[in-house]
Chains A and B, each alone.
Chain A
Amino acid sequence: DTGVSQDPRHKITKRGQNVTFRCDPISEHNRLYWYRQTLGQGPEFLTYFQNEAQLEKSRLLSDRFSAERPKGSFSTLEIQRTEQGDSAMYLCASSLGYRGEVETQYFGPGTRLLVL
């Protein structure tokens, strides 16, 4: 078990460009979460998958953001037409959860995005 991995670890882009991040959860974890963290703040929830189904999206996830989890394994988060306000750390977490049970979320190292 190698833990949650994210790629890339750092991304610098120019305003208006599209970027895509990848998250590989712990194998056999059925739940996957995306969070965003800005400097000096705690992470904020963006979206959540149970297997391949996207079950919840935050109001923070504007139309420029899209997330997928094909086949219920890895997930991608795409930001279109990036803005300077998108600069943040994007964190992915996974867990093994069943209805009615509480599970620990395990976080990846994050992808730090800087939009110039």
Chain B
Amino acid sequence: KQEVTQIPAALSVPEGENLVLNCSFTDSAIYNLQWFRQDPGKGLTSLLLIQSSQREQTSGRLNASLDKSSGRSTLYIAASQPGDSATYLCAGYMEYGNKLVFGAGTILRVKS
């Protein structure tokens, strides 16, 4: 059974810091990886999707990388802002177009 671990479970940083969130899979045979943001009591907002042929994706201050050989992904957030405070979830696609397998998330708090 595929298990996804996200480290750290929670993180509190001052505004302006650069930070890295980590995600690892027990089974490195994932096809694609997606990072999401979830605000309290809300649904999921897709941030970045890394396809199987790619190693990283960038959107604004966010950069996500995927090392399929080790089954690890990182999400880098540059110049963090209080509005970045949320739970960040990584999820892997185990088969083409089917279900996502999620980690438990990293709760991020950016203090002003």
Beyond A43-B89, A45-B100, A98-B97, list 19 extra A-B contacts (CB 8 Å): A6-B43, A33-B99, A41-B104, A42-B4, A42-B103, A43-B91, A43-B100, A45-B99, A48-B98, A56-B99, A95-B97, A102-B32, A102-B52, A102-B97, A104-B46, A105-B46, A107-B45, A108-B43, A109-B43
Which residue on chain B has the smallest CB distance to residue A112? B41
A91 pairs with B34, CB closer than 8 A: no
Q: Which residues of A contact B (CB under 8 A)?
A: 4, 6, 31, 33, 35, 40-45, 48, 55-56, 58, 91, 93, 95, 97-110, 112
CB distance from B61 to the nearest CB of A (A): 20
**Residues of A contacting B4 in the complex (Cβ-Cβ under 8 angstroms):** 42
A109 to B44, CA, bound (A): 7
| A48: contacting residue among B36, B99, B104, CB under 8 A | B99
Which residue on chain A has the smallest CB distance to residue B44? A107
A82 to B103, CA, bound (A): 27
A97 to B34, CA, bound (A): 15
> Does any Cβ of A come within 8 Å of B76's Cβ?
no
A110 pairs with B52, CB closer than 8 A: no
**Residues of A contacting B101 in the complex (Cβ-Cβ under 8 angstroms):** 45
A65 to B82, CA, bound (A): 40
A102 pairs with B49, CB closer than 8 A: yes
A105 pairs with B43, CB closer than 8 A: no
A35 to B101, CA, bound (A): 10
**Residues of B contacting A112 in the complex (Cβ-Cβ under 8 angstroms):** 41
